[in-house]
């Protein structure tokens, strides 16, 4: 059972490591790295369920009877390229946040927002 | 056995990434993580996926994160945001998921449900129906062409998003100043420059090989696009962005990205007008197999063009932003010292 389910368990461990980074770390780039780990763990999951014992790469050739399942390969191949495109979008948001707030730490950004709101309230009160 | 070693290494690297305070090291480790998972995909017979992951996970994504780190700083603050509740949530979720895996079919078992539905048709009939040996390409470009079309549109949209967020109006004067700085800097890298210049044509040639050989071996538009873009990025890194912009006009490359999607979509429209379904290539030619070959060739071209140009556009915008920021800083310092 341990060998049979080892891949699934490793996928879950990697996924949870990614999730932990996304929740607990304040740095936005670190969060994106965590998201990449999470994403890759899903890729590993799909590819390991596609594997058939004694199978080979799904490219038709003479004398081969057992192939691994090609469908998950297709899904993940496109997902990887879409993943980099969306990561780039996330990174460009990080760049803009850095330009506006001069920081990419979540706590500092929140603090600046709170201060801004406070001063706004004060000016409204005095008016 | 190899897969167990690789998976254990992946876990070790992921834990090391959590502990790293230095973002440079964390991103470098993430690149190694990508390369290792690519090796894992080879062991799992997923050669096409491994190809893509090696180019994207270990190459382009690491590079983009480095460009961003040069703009945002490489040190992470050590404050953690509620680590204990986070750990609690993660352990509960992980425990439930592991409980869920107990019902799953074992790794590598032939009779798992996933191997009994639709995939036997791809494996047994794709040679008669599509006529190309690489089943992954048959499924990607023909059976599930509509799905792939969606993915290409997503990539294109992400490219537009980056363009909207990061593009800046460039003035000619700025360009000239940056160029003079670059020229003085790049004199140091003479050997690297010459070797890169020799390598770039071969990288392009390899990208074209991957593009056209995708029917017979691992490869196809997605991988070829990434490799093609990496050659252009290599050029831009060594010779400066201003020089690279002279070689490849950014407006032109944005146009190519849109044309790739258009080419892909038009193949679908043409098959509709010939009386078939959307992306039914059988009607493209009098012989169904020739029609399939033609359809796959055209849409792989569309994918390759879009992926290559979107990645180049993304890199140009990140690097352009960075160059302008770093160019601004010294001039602001001068003003403040006055």
Complete DSSP assignment for A40-70: HHHHHHHHHHH-BTT-B-SB--TT---B--H
Residue in B108, B139, B153, B296 to test binding to A, most A beta-carbons within 10 Å = B108
Q: Is B115 part of the contact surface with chain A (CB cutoff 8 Å)?
A: yes
Domain ranges of chain A: 2-52+65-126
pLDDT at B337: 43
Under 8 Å between Cβ of A39 and A84:
no
Query: CB of A33 within 8 A of CB of B65?
Result: yes
Mean pLDDT of chain A: 89
Q: In sequence order, what are the residues at sequence separation of 6 or more whose Cβ sits closer than 8 angstroms to the Cβ of residue B98?
A: A8, A9, A12
Q: What percent of chain A has pLDDT over 70?
A: 99
User: Tell me, what's the pLDDT at B330?
Assistant: 57
The 3-state secondary structure of B254-265, one letter per residue:
HHHHHHHHHHHH
CATH architecture of A2-52+65-126: Orthogonal Bundle (1.10)
Q: Give the gap in angstroms from C-alpha B99 to the nearest C-alpha of chain A.
A: 10
Structure tokens at A22: 């996304």
Nearest CA in chain B to A32: B65
Judging contacts by C-beta atoms under 8 Å, the chain B residues touching residue A56 are 45
Contacts of B136 (CB under 8 A, 6+ apart): A58, A59, A70, A73, A74, A77, B48, B218, B220
Element (H, E) at B165: helix B145-166
Chain A contact set for B217 (CB, 8 A): 59
Residue B229: burial class (beta carbons within 10 Å; 0-12, 13-18, 19+) = buried
**B110 has a chain A CB within 8 A of its CB:** yes
Q: pLDDT category, A103, cuts 50, 70, 90?
A: confident
pLDDT per position as a tens digit, A38-68: 999 999 999 999 988 888 888 888 888 888 9
Structure-block tokens of residue B18: 């959590």
Per residue in B205-236, pLDDT (tens digit) is 999 999 998 888 888 889 999 999 999 999 98
CA distance A116 to chain B (A): 22
- pLDDT at residue B334 in the model: 47
Q: Is B251 on the interface with A (CB under 8 A)?
A: no
B40 interaction partners in chain A (CB closer than 8 Å): 44, 47
**Which has the higher per-residue pLDDT, A113 or B189?**
A113
**Looking at beta carbons, which residues of chain B come within 8 Å of A58?**
45, 122-123, 134-136
> Are the Cβ atoms of B4 and A14 closer than 8 angstroms?
no
Which residue of chain A has the CA closest to B59?
Answer: A84
> B165 vs A93: CB contact, 8 Å cut-off?
yes
**What backbone torsions phi and psi does residue B183 show, to the nearest 5 degrees?**
-60, -45
pTM summary value: 0.89
pLDDT at residue B277 in the model: 86
What's residue B203's pLDDT? Answer: 94
Q: How far apart are CA B72 and CA B263, in angstroms?
A: 38
pLDDT level of residue A71 (50, 70, 90 thresholds): very high
Q: Which residues of chain B have pLDDT under 70?
A: 79, 170-175, 178-187, 328-338
**Nearest Cα to A59, choosing from B132, B290, B233, B200?**
B132
């Amino acid at each position: 059972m341990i060998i049979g389910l080892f891949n699934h368990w490793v996928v879950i461990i990697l996924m949870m490591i990614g999730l932990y980074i996304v929740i607990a770390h304040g740095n936005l780039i670190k969060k994106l790295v965590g998201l990449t780990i999470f994403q890759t763990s899903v890729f590993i999951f799909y590819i390991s369920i596609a594997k058939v014992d004694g199978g080979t790469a799904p490219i038709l050739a003479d004398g081969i009877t057992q192939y691994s399942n090609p469908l998950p390969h297709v899904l993940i191949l496109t997902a990887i390229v879409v993943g980099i495109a969306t990561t780039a979008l996330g990174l460009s948001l990080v760049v803009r946040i850095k330009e506006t707030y001069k920081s990419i730490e979540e706590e500092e950004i929140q603090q600046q927002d709170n201060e801004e709101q406070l001063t706004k309230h004060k000016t409204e009160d005095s008016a | 056995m190899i897969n167990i070693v690789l998976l254990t290494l992946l876990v070790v690297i992921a834990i090391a990434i959590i502990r790293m305070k230095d973002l440079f090291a964390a991103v470098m480790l993430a690149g190694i993580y990508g390369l290792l998972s690519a090796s894992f995909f080879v062991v799992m017979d997923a050669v096409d996926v491994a190809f893509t992951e090696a180019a994207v996970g270990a190459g382009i994504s690491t590079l983009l994160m480095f460009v961003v780190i040069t703009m945002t700083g490489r040190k992470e603050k050590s404050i953690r945001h509620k680590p204990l509740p986070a750990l609690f949530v993660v352990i509960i979720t992980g425990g439930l998921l592991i409980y869920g895996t107990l019902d799953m079919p074992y790794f590598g078992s032939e009779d798992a449900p996933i191997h009994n539905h639709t995939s036997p048709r791809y494996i047994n009939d794709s040679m008669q129906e599509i006529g190309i040996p690489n089943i992954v390409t048959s499924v990607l470009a023909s059976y599930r062409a509509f799905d792939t079309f969606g993915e290409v549109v997503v990539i294109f949209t992400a490219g537009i998003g980056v363009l909207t967020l990061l593009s800046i109006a460039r003035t000619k004067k700025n360009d000239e100043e940056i160029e003079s700085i670059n020229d003085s800097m790049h004199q140091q890298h003479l050997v690297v420059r010459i070797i890169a210049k020799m390598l770039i044509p071969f990288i392009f040639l390899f990208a074209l090989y991957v593009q056209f050989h995708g029917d017979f071996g691992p490869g196809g538009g997605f991988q070829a696009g990434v490799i093609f873009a990496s050659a252009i990025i290599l050029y831009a890194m060594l010779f400066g962005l201003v020089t690279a912009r002279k070689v490849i006009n950014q407006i032109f490359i944005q146009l190519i990205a849109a044309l790739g999607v258009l080419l892909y979509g038009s193949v679908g429209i043409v098959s509709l007008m010939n009386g078939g379904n959307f992306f039914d290539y059988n009607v493209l030619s009098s012989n169904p197999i020739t029609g399939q070959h033609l359809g796959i060739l055209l849409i792989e071209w569309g994918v390759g063009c879009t992926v290559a140009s979107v990645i180049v556009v993304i890199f140009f915008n990140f690097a352009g932003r960075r160059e302008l920021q770093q160019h601004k800083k010294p001039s602001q310092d001068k003003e403040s010292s006055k």
